[in-house]
Chain A
């Protein structure tokens, strides 16, 4: 019988496990921090939203069109910020080990916030007659909707192309069953994913870049430089 120092094996196993537990604990700490981060950002955004809301009220009270560009600029920046955090939140939620529920609640909050912004956008548009196009993007996760990823990529691309003249509000319909989203979906007759509502018209299923360009361009009141090629 040869020498076998069992102690080494046990100590190594305990230490390795300890390192993994340490990693896991750190992961949980980070998860907490992530929740806090998203919550804080939400609080921040809520206040900014109130500001946008007030700005709109003020605008409609005075009926002074000269204020429109400034008001729209803040509004647009806020929507962008909201979208960035929403995407982050989505990936945090996927990684979550323990706080799945609180992440889901947060996602719901963000969803509602998106809708609020969308409604405000419509009102502002009516008042200021901004030449912008709004898009509602209903999508779902990869496994249920293989083409959603591609659709989102094209939308991101178009967003880069049109900048602040294109407002996109995205709703991840898989995570939370939010009645408000369901009302939106039935109003616009959305039954499958991906689905886009562009300036009130519904387009179900995947739409390629050319098709979307066409739809978006026809949504503008005036001819946009990006649309010149198409109108020819």
Chain B
């Protein structure tokens, strides 16, 4: 018991240390990096292909395509390819109708049997005429100036992909509002990471790739990869290409509105992140890959462990006294009325665990600072969705994600047994 206690305390303190270390690290990067505020202008209009992989999207696809047609970009320079990934609904016929209604635009439809997103993207990539290749998920919407503002960043030949700021599309319920904050902070972090060439994922909605580079590193992973977007980003990193994250051009995407859907999404994301990091483990702590190898690769793995340990310890330490209390109640036949009598609530400042308290206070200060900054840089108001949802995001959301990590860890462990 004593040994077990010592080990668990050790793990806890290492977790506190690491999470504080990461926060401090990025805070230093934020404070020390110079920001390039010059806006780049587009001088010519290269040919661009937008690929929309769609599986059973009859409800969304119309809005997505029509929204795309509003892009401020010459019509003859824009090609749209919808790949119907063996939908069982009317996705194809909806797309065909849109094609008939908008004869002036270059819209193509490729139909395939259900092979997954990677294969769908590769089909589009092979057919693409554009110099730049854009992925767009069917449930995402682009601001009309996005392309114009993103393409100028390809002036550096090492740049393989430019990413827009991704926000939650019109969040309605609390869960979506909490994700709104999560996305915003993530975007702010990703822009920071991009400064150290540390971006590890090019999300599905409106990532603009240089097609030549995509073909050079060998198309998307179509081998049923859970997160082909993350795999591609890691591959580009392993070839030392640059991934640029911007905070101006805006894309919104529909976030899961219930816990079950969120769990499915996160299960896929996090599992994909872990499995793909293992695939590219040669970059892990490898100085040849610079900051990406030294800080970002370990972060992908460790952040999961941190989330897991934190949530387990919170559950353990907050439930333990109650479980013990309940257990003891058996001995007095649950006569809680007697216990409630003469109950005294006394708070003594001296009773706090001060070492942990200090670390926690500093962590919260850093988080609040970064929260504020991420709103400033994405030009959003902090209380856009009220104080309650923000508070819930800060106090509850990480527990929700942590609980999901428990499920994902379980899946990974069980999955491993099956494979080997």
Residues of A within 8 A of B (CB): 1-5, 8-9, 11-13, 15-16, 19-20, 22-24, 26-27, 29-30, 33-34, 37, 88, 91-92, 95, 143, 149-150, 153-154, 157, 160-161, 163, 208-209
Which A residues touch B294, using CB under 8 A? 4, 9
Task: Please determine whether A27 and B355 come into contact, CB atoms closer than 8 angstroms.
Answer: yes
Task: Please determine whether B355 and A2 come into contact, CB atoms closer than 8 angstroms.
Answer: no
Q: Tell me, rounded to whole Å, the shortest Cβ–Cβ distance linking A62 to chain B.
A: 33
Which A residues touch B292, using CB under 8 A? 2
Which residue of the partner chain, among B21, B328, B348, contacts A16 with CB atoms under 8 Å?
B21
Task: Please determine whether A33 and B350 come into contact, CB atoms closer than 8 angstroms.
Answer: yes
Task: Please determine whether A143 and B354 come into contact, CB atoms closer than 8 angstroms.
Answer: no
Q: Given the known A-B contacts A4-B287, A12-B28, A157-B339, are A208 and B355 also in contact in the complex, defined by CB atoms under 8 Å?
A: no
Task: Please determine whether A143 and B362 come into contact, CB atoms closer than 8 angstroms.
Answer: no
Q: Given the known A-B contacts A3-B197, A4-B290, A19-B359, are A160 and B339 also in contact in the complex, defined by CB atoms under 8 Å?
A: yes
Residues of B within 8 A of A (CB): 1-2, 17, 20-21, 24-25, 28-29, 32, 196-197, 240, 287-295, 324, 328, 331-333, 335, 338-339, 341-342, 348, 350-359, 362
Task: Please determine whether B354 and A30 come into contact, CB atoms closer than 8 angstroms.
Answer: yes
Q: Tell me, rounded to whole Å, the shortest Cβ–Cβ distance linking A33 to chain B.
A: 6
Which residue of the partner chain, among B338, B353, B356, contacts A157 with CB atoms under 8 Å?
B338
Task: Please determine whether A26 and B287 come into contact, CB atoms closer than 8 angstroms.
Answer: no
Q: Tell me, rounded to whole Å, the shortest Cβ–Cβ distance linking A205 to chain B.
A: 14
Task: Please determine whether A150 and B353 come into contact, CB atoms closer than 8 angstroms.
Answer: no
Task: Please determine whether A30 and B350 come into contact, CB atoms closer than 8 angstroms.
Answer: yes
Task: Please determine whether A19 and B358 come into contact, CB atoms closer than 8 angstroms.
Answer: yes
Which A residues touch B333, using CB under 8 A? 209
CA distance A23 to B355 in the complex (A): 4
Task: Please determine whether A24 and B355 come into contact, CB atoms closer than 8 angstroms.
Answer: yes
CA distance A44 to B289 in the complex (A): 65
CA distance A30 to B355 in the complex (A): 9
Which B residues touch A154, using CB under 8 A? 328, 331-332
CA distance A11 to B352 in the complex (A): 29
Task: Please determine whether A143 and B342 come into contact, CB atoms closer than 8 angstroms.
Answer: no
Q: Tell me, rounded to whole Å, the shortest Cβ–Cβ distance linking A97 to chain B.
A: 9
Which B residues touch A92, using CB under 8 A? 350
Which A residues touch B342, using CB under 8 A? 160, 163
Which B residues touch A4, using CB under 8 A? 287, 290-291, 294
Q: Can you pick out 21 interface pairs between chain A and chain B where the beta carbons lie within 8 Å of each other?
A: A1-B288, A1-B290, A2-B288, A3-B197, A3-B291, A4-B287, A4-B291, A20-B17, A20-B355, A20-B359, A23-B357, A23-B359, A27-B353, A27-B354, A33-B350, A149-B324, A153-B332, A157-B338, A208-B331, A209-B332, A209-B333
